[in-house]
Amino acid sequence: MGRYIVQRLILTIPVLIGIMLVCFFLTRLSGDPTDLMLPTNATEEARAAFRSVHGLDRPLWEQFITFFANGLMGDFGSSLRFNQPAMSLVWERLGATTELAAATMAMALLIGVPAGVAAAYRRNTPADITIRGITLMGQALPGFYLGIISIIVFAVWLRWLPSGGRGSWLNLILPAATLAFNLVALIARVTRSCMLDVLRQDYIRTARAKGARERTVLWIHALRNGFIPVLTVIGLQVGLLMGGVVVTETVFSWPGVGRLAIQAIYARDFPVVQAVVFTFAIIFVFVNLVVDLLYAVLDPRISYN
């Protein structure tokens, strides 16, 4: 197991290098941040001084070498807007994003998995058809549209929940539910498909023949064996969840990394954008490593020795 983990960590190095390379050159395609950071009537001397301070006057290849060398040490430079280390700005807001992502994933699992199990167990019944219809709608609705509608209904009309910000657990409900809606739909559909396949297996019939309770058959024998594909989907959805966080945090004024990324993109704040992308890449790689290790926990036949 330890050797496998080391091998996976080594393989992540070229992945992160590739991400840094793509991120650096894509941010440079957006234009010169001097035009946004300085007023329109700024003198050429002021513009030249700004470029010199932030290294924007150097050749592109030299900028990349400096960025790459410092990035390996976790130093992405100082924000062009806030004049603070870019990574410290990300760390200040990472707690809020982690809170939102954890609430979203918990909500998605607590609703999506039971819904998928119920749909599989009640196959082709009104309950199954209803769940499939709701999940289809959940996958079709864009997250930003759902967020705006939820604000109008629950914050403006009904006044049940706050429309944005971060203060209490009530502020977490709308953004987490908006993010979780699409994820619930996907998890429920995958769980249903996997459970339908598992419930046809011989060992399920054997467990029922031996007098095992139906609840035990469903949640112990069937779900554990059918959960590996669901776990794979969860690992892959982390990347989409990070992308959804960017939009959702902006809609609900949630003070997280996603909102910081949007503000940095608009301002062409290269160091902050690069720090955010690198942080999200690290999270995605780590989560997928954990998912791979959980395979062995769910299925003893899987070994990484």
List, for residues 270-292, the tens digit of each pLDDT value: 888 889 988 888 888 888 888 87
The burial class, CB within 10 Å (0-12 / 13-18 / 19+), for 179 is buried
Residue 303: per-residue pLDDT: 65
pLDDT, averaged across the chain:
84
Task: Write out the residue limits of the CATH 1.10.3720.10 domain(s) in the chain.
Answer: 87-298
Class of domain 87-298: mainly alpha
Among residues 263, 293, 286, which one has the least CA distance to residue 275?
263
pTM (global) more than 0.85: no
To 10 degrees, what angle do helices 126-140 and 86-121 make? 160
8-state DSSP, 151 = I
| Spatial separation of the C-alpha atoms in residues 48 and 217, rounded to whole Å | 71
Share of the chain above pLDDT 90, in %: 12
| Spatial separation of the C-alpha atoms in residues 302 and 291, rounded to whole Å | 13
Contacts of 207 (CB under 8 A, 6+ apart): 216, 217, 221
Residue 137 φ then ψ, to 5°: -65, -40
Residue 189: per-residue pLDDT: 92
Residue 140 zone, left/alpha/beta (φ > 0; ψ -120 to 50; rest):
alpha
